[in-house]
Amino acid sequence: MTVRVVLADDQPLIRAALVMVIADMPDIEVVAEAGTGLEAVRMTRDLRPDVVVMDIRMPGMDGIEATRMITKDGGPTHVIVLTTFDDDNNVYNALRAGASGFLVKDMAVSDILGAIRVVAAGDALIAPKVTRRLIEEFTGRSRRTATVPKKEIRGITGREREALTLVGQGMSNTDISEAMGISAATVKSYVTRLLAKLNARDRAQLVIIAYENGLVAPGKEPT
């Protein structure tokens, strides 16, 4: 199956570079390019791509609002935020808006392609270390400015809470399996139940919930 992608960035050179990267891949296809957030929303509604690669800083409607509009109806499209990491203070809010992961603009080509494939397959955490670093950097500042109420943890078991903590630390299913002494299949079952019980769109939102509810503190490493 070919992964259908919309590229949303107000810089034509960035879009052109990504198109060149993707052009030789038989399993990924760029179906449209958007220069604004509003264009990205319209193209997503018309084309129903698997993935939107979304820059945050765009004229008019920014990438955060565009991400919120794309993901609010629970459709099949996943959004990957395109960020420079060092100077972008809105990454946390992008996750809250429904983004499934991140691309850092100076990432290796292989990592960019891998990220698109992983998110298209439904696994929100592109690279646990990248996700953890981003959230650690911005969670304190963003908490003071975020206007969306946090999602409370209710109705989960002790073992599910343990799994949620490890997800929040950026662990993969394999790492969680080893840490909890359970099979990978059981980990997947825990994650699936957590998504349903906490009304989370994907794994990235589970990370946010873990941070917001104090299960993981910024800077805490997996044990």
Q: What is the mean pLDDT of residues 113-129?
A: 71
Tell me the torsion sign for CA atoms 17, 22, 24, 29.
negative
Residue 135 confidence (pLDDT): 60
Class of 158-212 in CATH: mainly alpha
* Domain boundaries along the sequence of the chain: 3-145, 158-212
How far is residue 152 CA from its own chain's centroid? 20
Tokens of 65: 């609002």
Does 125 score more than 60 pLDDT? no
3-state secondary structure of 80: strand
Name which of 164, 188, 168, 169 is nearest 177 in CA terms.
Answer: 188
Helix axes of 184-197 and 158-168: crossing angle, nearest 10 degrees: 90
Give me the phi and psi of 100, to 5 degrees please.
Answer: -95, -10
Q: Which helix (H) or strand (E) holds 169?
A: none
Q: Contact at 8 Å (CB) between 134 and 84? A: no
Tell me: the pLDDT tens digits for 166-195? 988 878 788 899 999 999 899 989 999 998
Class of 3-145 in CATH: alpha beta
